[in-house]
Structure 1
Amino acid sequence: MSYVSSAERYEDPSIRRSGRSGLQLPPLSLGLWQNFGHDRPFAAQREMVLGAFDRGVFHFDLANNYGPPPGSAESGFGRLLRTDLAPYRDELVISTKAGWNMHPGPYGSGGSRKYLLSSLDRSLERLGIDAVDVFYSHRPDPGTPLEETAAALDHVVRSGRAHYVGVSSYSADASRDMARLLRDLGTPLAIHQPSYSMLNRWIEEDGLLDVAEDEGFGIIGFSPLAQGLLTDKYLRGIPEGARGAQPGSFTGDALTDDLRDRLSALAALAERRGQSLAQLAIAWALRDARVTSLVAGASRLSQLEENLGALAGPELDEAEIAEIDGLAVDAGIDLWRSARLGGALPPLSAKTS
């Protein structure tokens, strides 16, 4: 039977504009970094993507290396575009990225013109479409002039390969420089995708939110649940088989007794609000209007529904925000800090978005 999407998918009026651009996104976007490789049944992937779209999630966030193996998330989503979502293509926002390790050799990662353009061409082939809606430079590359990366991003828009461009995990200063370079080229920077959660608040300390407001680009935070720490799953430690026990996630050392006590207190605050800890974390990360959307993954449709439930909850009041500020601490889970500060590229197994 052919898929027909829910007629009620746009009933939620909380669609947000990305900065001063024309790009509009749902407050919660579905990330395909985890659970969309060849290690997961295609039927489960289909249920998640179509279930998300039925619930008003029309933005799907990919990257060239999402899998495993790299490229398989795009291939799987391309299959869904052909079999189920073709009639809805113009309603969807499809984003992809290039910058982290994709294949061996000097043009398998980074921010060079060759890598970015070649990678996007391969992404379009896997997706089976002529253009993505957003294309990101997935990380800063200290080995490539920022001007070259900017020119490549400008070219993907002018050549019709993408409608908007963005960056991910760039510092506030590098983001301001990129925004100005792109503005001079005539292709505005539309969006920035940084890691952001109660336990990883670097975008506030670094001034990225202020730069976004000044330069007119939006923020779409990834890992708003701190790789699962901001869920009920880890309140009593790391369960066997949980994401926190897998490579490329936080280490067991991050979950100290002090952090577990703080998470328990946050969970109690969430319960007083009639929410789960995950819902509180999402509501908190969306409290600032400069944050356009959040990218969250899910392994089950019930998790997605729980996350979306955060959007129906009450707004956080000043007392609650102050209580959260007293409990939220940096948990040492910012795996992207070294790259943001111009450090060496970590192994592929350590890359988590």
Structure 2
Amino acid sequence: MAVHLCSVSSLSIPPLNRTGIFTVRALGSKDFGTLTSQEEKVKLGGSELKVSRLGIGAWSWGDNSYWNDFGWNDVMTKAAKAAFNASVDSGITFIDTAEVYGSSLALGAINSETLLGRYIKEKKAQDPGVEVEVATKFAALPWRFGRQSVTSALKDSLSRLGLASVELYQLHWPGVWGNEGYIDGLGDAVEQGLVKAVGVSNYSEKRLREAYEQLKKRGIPLASNQVNYSLIYRLPEENGVKTACDELGITLIAYSPIAQGVLTGKYTPENPPTGPRGRIYTPEFLAKLQPLLNRIRDIGQNYNKTPTQVALNWLIAQENVVPIPGAKTAEQAIEFAGALGWRISNEEINELRSLAKEIKPVVGFPVEKL
């Protein structure tokens, strides 16, 4: 059973068949893999919240500074909506946004939360039973003080989203000060029924353990830590964050899991990414990356998968990891779904890690070191 992608605005994803499996294909003969009912939902850390095994990041939606070459427009808005619909229709229902994505604070064109809320409302009008697990984040800005700043910001996010509550609320990064108050605010949000689970983002091992213990005293689990993690950015493996997550039962949510598009094989030394990404993924870096990309491509051919799907599957195979690649189009979202329902071998996992070690890591988000 197949879905033929004729245009990003006219998608139709079939329901699960009797075996609990459906196949998703794009236009042509390329196999975009299978989703299994067993992989549709996983528990987020020690919370009761269940999310899809793979999520979608909405960082680029409405952004006009880091993404979209300062040119967000109606065409991009429609493409983002198609990406949302394709994600949900293919079983990827965990969508991650933040109050600063697309906001005026970040020189954005339209807030990502506003767009996501609009897309959810329109989707539910067509299918009232559709489920979407929404995750958003609190910006630990220097002028925000105390626990009440967290619940106040969350209520503003809920207003933009048009929702009474969200599934996951996260601290976007550690504050320069006031972190204990922020953690208390997360606990308050749970007790006030504004959120089902809480997490942090860009937290070091030390800060992660502190946040975990502080919430534990109130009987509230720390569900997740969202960090930069990909085959070519494995700092969470090296700085103790991944080990701490596994030990404490905290799910690691991996942002930039395909290295902002670089692991798709789309970019070459002759065709580097535009905008700010071009200063990170330079032609020199891309030249050194080619042996790894070639091996990813070879492995993908063995499974009839794309390099993108192999890179995401490598992360999923690390266990206790939920990748959230950014989807700007429906075709991208459908391709991401093909990372589920299969596994590369342990030998291939180790081989790719070994090849990746030959490449000097790119610069991450500075707050990771706070």
**TM-score bin (small chain):** 0.7 to 0.9
Q: Which amino acid aligns with 2:155?
A: D
Instruction: Deviation per CA, 1:117-141: give whole Å up to 9, x if none.
Output: 3321211111111111100001111
Verify: 1:305 aligned to 2:331, yes or no: no
Verify: 1:81 aligned to 2:120, yes or no: yes
Out of 344, 349, 360, the position equivalent to 1:316 is 344
Partner in structure 2 of residue 93 of structure 1: 133
Out of 164, 167, 181, the position equivalent to 2:200 is 167
Counterpart Cα distance in 2 of 1:22 and 1:224 = 25
The structure-2 alpha-carbon separation of the partners of 1:246 and 1:156, relative to structure 1 and needing over 3 Å to count, comes to same
Q: Which amino acid aligns with 1:75?
A: T
Segments of 4+ moved more than 4 angstroms:
3-7, 86-90
Partner in structure 1 of residue 57 of structure 2: 31
**Contact 1:26 1:57 (C-alpha < 8 Å) held by counterparts:** yes
The structure-2 alpha-carbon separation of the partners of 1:7 and 1:300, relative to structure 1 and needing over 3 Å to count, comes to same
Q: Which moved more, 1:304-313 or 1:186-195?
A: 304-313
Partner in structure 1 of residue 229 of structure 2: 196
Instruction: Deviation per CA, 1:41-100: give whole Å up to 9, x if none.
Output: 332222111111111111111100112527611111222233322554772211100126
**Contact 1:32 1:297 (C-alpha < 8 Å) held by counterparts:** yes
The structure-2 alpha-carbon separation of the partners of 1:71 and 1:187, relative to structure 1 and needing over 3 Å to count, comes to farther
Q: Which moved more, 1:47-56 or 1:327-336?
A: 327-336
The structure-2 alpha-carbon separation of the partners of 1:198 and 1:160, relative to structure 1 and needing over 3 Å to count, comes to same
The structure-2 alpha-carbon separation of the partners of 1:334 and 1:232, relative to structure 1 and needing over 3 Å to count, comes to same
1:1-353 alignment to 2 at 5 Å? Answer: 7-8=15-16, 11=21, 12-13=36-37, 14=39, 15-37=41-63, 39-41=72-74, 42-67=77-102, 69=108, 72-85=111-124, 88=128, 91-99=131-139, 106-107=143-144, 112-144=146-178, 146-239=179-272, 244-247=273-276, 250-252=280-282, 255-291=285-321, 293-313=322-342, 315-329=343-357, 331-336=360-365, 338-342=366-370
Counterpart Cα distance in 2 of 1:78 and 1:208 = 32
Counterpart Cα distance in 2 of 1:112 and 1:170 = 19
**Contact 1:139 1:339 (C-alpha < 8 Å) held by counterparts:** yes
For residue 156 of structure 1, report the CA deviation from its aligned partner: 0.9
**Contact 2:44 2:251 (C-alpha < 8 Å) held by counterparts:** yes
Percentage of pairs with the same residue: 26
The structure-2 alpha-carbon separation of the partners of 1:123 and 1:277, relative to structure 1 and needing over 3 Å to count, comes to same
Unmatched runs of 5 consecutive residues or more in structure 1 = 343-353
Unmatched runs of 5 consecutive residues or more in structure 2 = 1-10, 22-35, 65-71
Q: Which moved more, 1:33-42 or 1:117-126?
A: 33-42
Counterpart Cα distance in 1 of 2:62 and 2:129 = 20
Number of residue pairs the alignment of both structures matches? 326
**Contact 2:58 2:96 (C-alpha < 8 Å) held by counterparts:** yes
Counterpart Cα distance in 2 of 1:319 and 1:5 = 34
Higher relative contact order (CA 8 A, sep 6+): 2
Counterpart Cα distance in 2 of 1:263 and 1:48 = 25
Counterpart Cα distance in 2 of 1:225 and 1:139 = 21
The structure-2 alpha-carbon separation of the partners of 1:184 and 1:334, relative to structure 1 and needing over 3 Å to count, comes to farther
**Contact 1:225 1:282 (C-alpha < 8 Å) held by counterparts:** yes
Instruction: Deviation per CA, 1:183-216: give whole Å up to 9, x if none.
Output: 1122210111111100011111122222122222
CA root-mean-square deviation: 2.6
Counterpart Cα distance in 2 of 1:51 and 1:269 = 26
**Contact 2:84 2:330 (C-alpha < 8 Å) held by counterparts:** no
**Contact 2:167 2:195 (C-alpha < 8 Å) held by counterparts:** yes
For residue 254 of structure 1, report the CA deviation from its aligned partner: 6.2
Q: Which moved more, 1:208-217 or 1:37-46?
A: 37-46
For residue 179 of structure 1, report the CA deviation from its aligned partner: 0.5
Counterpart Cα distance in 1 of 2:99 and 2:92 = 21
